[in-house]
Amino acid sequence: MAKTVHFIAGASRGIGLSLATHLSKNPENVVIATARNPATASDLEELSKAGNVHVVALDLNDEKTIESAKAEVLKITDSIDVFICNAGISTTHAPILKTSKEQFLSHYITNTLGPILLFQAFYELVKKGTQKKVIFVSSMVGTISEQPTFSTSAYGQSKAALNHSIRHLGRELAEEGFIVVPVHPGVVGTDMLYGAKDRFLADNPDFAPIFAPGGHITPQESAEKLTVLIENLKKEDSNKFWSYDGSELPW
């Protein structure tokens, strides 16, 4: 039986690292995990000793590294079964009126354009895969119909734009047998969450419980449930917005 090849963009820490760790426990999986700087991604480098994990350098903001990452992946495999784009940033939670042009642009470039350009480059490899599953880690703050009451400004806008593109992409690739979905990973205790605490609470003080014990889940919990979700995705599940717990979210 052929092994299942998983490609994970943004796997040096947090959810991406936990996904790579969880998937690598199955010897029938091959995991290609990316990091902006593999030399400093010590946990990922340690994981690569398992034998079925390959680490590749990739920076979504640098199109040259997207092409070089593709070249490295082609040395490992000529097809990808499950494509997961997890890379992203969240550096401001200020209200719209206090968010700068630079902040809007940096989030859009990394969280929206980066994943799209990455998939454009890897499309042919995924097309050759047996599962053709394309997963973009988005966020519930990207929904339009049920927006949260706290400010997400540049981050929420970038995720909403990503969801828009994913929905179109799902329609464009439907006849080719692709399964294309955005997923909400949950409110996860990652460096991104903890690093945003002071900035977030400065503008949203009523949401302090999010950062307290029980207010969020661990990266390991998110990864385990995301893995189950991804494994169970069928063609009829494509072009829908899914939460890590298997529930469908509104666009």
State the catalytic residues.
155, 159
Residue 65 amino acid letter: T
Assign 3-class secondary structure to 20-80: HHHHHCCCCEEEEEEECCHHHCHHHHHHHHHCCEEEEECCCCCHHHHHHHHHHHHHHCCCC
- Parallel, antiparallel, or unpaired for β 179-184 and 133-137? parallel
Mapping DSSP to helix (H, G, I), strand (E, B) and coil, where does residue 5 land? strand
Burial of 6 (0-12, 13-18, 19+ CB in 10 A): buried
